[in-house]
Chain A
Amino acid sequence: MIIAVASGKGGTGKTLVATSLALSLENKKPVQLLDCDVEEPNAYIFIKPSFSHKETVTIPIPQLVEKRCTYCGKCAEVCAYNAIAVFLKIVLIFPELCHGCGACSYLCPEDALSEVNKEVGILEIGCSKGIEFIQGELTIGEAMAPPVIKEVKRHINQEKLIIIDVAPGISCPVVEAVKGSDFCLLVTEPTPFGLNDLALAVDMVNKLNIPCGVVINRDGAGDSKVEEYCRKEGIPVLLRIPLDIEIARLYSRGITLVEGIPQWQEAFLSLYNDIEQIAHQTQG
C-alpha cells in the first residue's frame, strides 16, 4: 500500500506525521519512507538515516553536432518550451527551459542533435532502524522538481508499506508525488489558511481519484471551520494533534513525535488501521 502525506498549505506538519507514522509501524511491517518534497527535503533530519547509496538524477538535453547542422530551424520549430533558437548560423540551447522530451533530436533531419545528461538533482538511499529511506534533492537553481520525484518513486517496492512525504501546494510536483497512491492523508491546521488550502488539496485528490482523510494539527489554535468542512464533505478526520508547545519544541530539535512522546505511537497505529480500512473499502 502507498500512503501519500500532502497538505496544500505548507508547514502544517506533513513531515511530522509521515515520520511518526513510519516509525510507529517499523516493527509491524517492512516500511519504505520516501521524501518527495525534493525542493526542501526535511524527513532525513528526523529519521537520521545512514545513506548507503547516492546517485545524480539527470534529464537528457540536446547538444549540437555542429558539423552536421544545416540551420534549418526544425528543432526550434518543434520545441514547445522555446528551449532552442536558431538565428542564421547560430543555434542557441537554453538547458533551463528544456523538459527533456527528446522531440528535437528525434526530429532533426540531419541527426545533428545528440543528447547529454544534465544533472537536476540527487537521489539518496539509506536506512534507519527498520525503515528503508529514499530522498530526492533538487539542485539549487533548477526549476523542475518532477524528474527528481519520478526517480525517487522508481525505487518503490510494492511489497512494503510505502509512505510518501509530499511538498506543499497542488501543482505538478505535488501531483507527481501523490499520483498512484492508495490513500492520501491531508494534514491541515484549524485556521482560515488551513481550510482554504485543505479544500484545494481535496479537489486535487478527487481529481486523481484517491481516497483521503484529514489530520488536524495544532488542534485548538484557531476555529472549528475545518471540522465543519470535513463533516459537510464527508471526509473523515483521522487524527487530531493538539497545539502544544512541547510538541513544537521536539519538532524544532528534529525529534519525531513518537520518539519524544512514546504514548503517541498508539494513535499513529490506529491512524494506520483506519487508513487500511478505508483504502480496502475503496478498492473493494
Chain B
Amino acid sequence: MKEIVVISGKGGTGKTIIVASLAALAKSKVMVDCDVDAADLYLLLQPVTQERQEFWSGHKAVIDKDKCTQCGLCQDLCRFNAINEFQVDTISCEGCGFCYHICPEEAITMQENLSGSWFTADTRYGPLVYAKLGIAQENSGKLVATVRQQAKLIAKKQGVDYILSDGPPGIGCPVISSISGVNLAVIVTEPTLSGIHDLNRAISVCQHFNVPVMVCINKYDLNEDNSRQIENYCHSQGIEVASKIPFDNVVTEALVKGLPVVEYSDNSVSQQITQLWQSILRLLENK
C-alpha cells in the first residue's frame, strides 16, 4: 500500500480538483482529506456517511469563581495571555495546565476539549475519510494524524493499493502531519511569483522530512516564463515536473457541476491529470 499526498504551499493552486480526478482515475484506493481546516474534497466525491466520531483533543482551563481569591498568580504566569480579569479566554488558552498546577486555591480545572469530528464515508470512487475541525480550534496536526490512521486501517482491511490524500496549504503543523512518512508528495504550483516562492518552501519542508517530491504546474500558460523558471529549478533539484495543466474555465464548470474534471471533459486538462497519475505510478513502481 502506497500513500500519496497532494500539497501546494500556496493555497488555491488546485490540490482538491486534482485529488478528486486522481480518485476517479486510480483503481484501488482510499481517499483522505487532510485539509481539516477547510475540507472541500467531500463536495466533489458526494459521500454517504458511514460513521461520525467526535474528536476530543487538548484541554481548556476553567476557573471556579467560588474558590478563586483573585490572587492573580495565574494571570502573571500565563504566557499566552489567556487569563484576564480572572476569566479564561478559551480561544487563547493552549491547554498547557500551568495555571492549574500553580493555583494555590486549587480553583482551576482542566476540561477536555471537543475540537472537531471526523467521518468515514462511501463514495462511488471508494472509501473517504475526512474531518471537520471546530471553529478556532487547535490540534489540527493531531486530527490529520487521526484521519490518516483511519484511512490506513481501511486500506489494510480492504487490501487496497493506494491512499490518496488531499493536503492542507502552508508548511506548518497540519502539513508536517500530512506528509510525514508518505511515499510521495505531489506539489501543485502555479506560475506566479507567489506560487514559486511557496513551492520553494513546500519543497524544503519535504526535503527536511525526507519525503520524495513530484511537481505539477497548474495554469502553466498563465505565465510561461515563470513556468520555465519552475521547471529549471525543479530540474536542478532532481525533481520531476510530471504535468503542466493549461488554464481553462472547464475546471470551474466541472466544480460547479460537482464532478471531478476528468469525468466532465476529456480536453487537455484531463489529459494532463491522466499523465500526472501515470507518472505517479511509474515513480512509485521504481522505488
Contact = CB atoms under 8 A, between A and B. Distances in A.
Given A39-B172, A140-B171, A168 B38 contact: yes
Given A40-B197, A200-B38, A204-B136, A10 B258 contact: no
B101 A11 contact: no
Nearest to B168: A169
Interface residues of A, number: 59
B10 A11 contact: yes
A80 B96 contact: yes
Nearest to B116: A171
A222 B171 CA distance: 29
A167 B170 contact: yes
A281 interface: no
A169 B136 contact: no
Nearest to A9: B38
B172 A143 contact: yes
A45 B194 contact: yes
A170 B136 contact: yes
Interface in A81-108: 81, 99-103, 106-107
A234 interface: no
B102 A106 contact: yes
Contacts of A221: 249, 252
Interface string B44-66: 00000000000000110000000
A15 B222 CA distance: 18
Given A11-B13, A80-B59, A40 B171 contact: yes
Given A12-B12, A106-B77, A143-B172, A171 B201 contact: no
A8 interface: yes
Interface SS, A side: loop
A175 B101 contact: no
A106 B194 CA distance: 43
Given A42-B198, A103-B101, A193-B255, A204 B226 contact: no
A136 to B, nearest CB: 12
Contacts of B247: 245, 248
Given A100-B79, A172-B137, A40 B223 contact: no
Nearest to B40: A193
Interface SS, B side: loop
A78 B110 CA distance: 12
Contacts of B174: 171
Given A10-B10, A106-B77, A200-B135, A42 B173 contact: no
B281 interface: no
B192 interface: yes
Contact of B11 (A11, A145, A172, A207): A11
Contacts of A200: 37-38, 135
Contacts of B195: 252
Given A42-B10, A42-B194, A208 B171 contact: no
Interface string B22-42: 000000000000001110100
Interface in A1-51: 7-12, 15, 39-40, 42, 45
Interface of A: 7-12, 15, 39-40, 42, 45, 78, 80-81, 99-103, 106-107, 138, 140-145, 167-175, 179, 191-193, 196-197, 200, 203-204, 207-208, 221-223, 243, 245, 248-249, 251-254
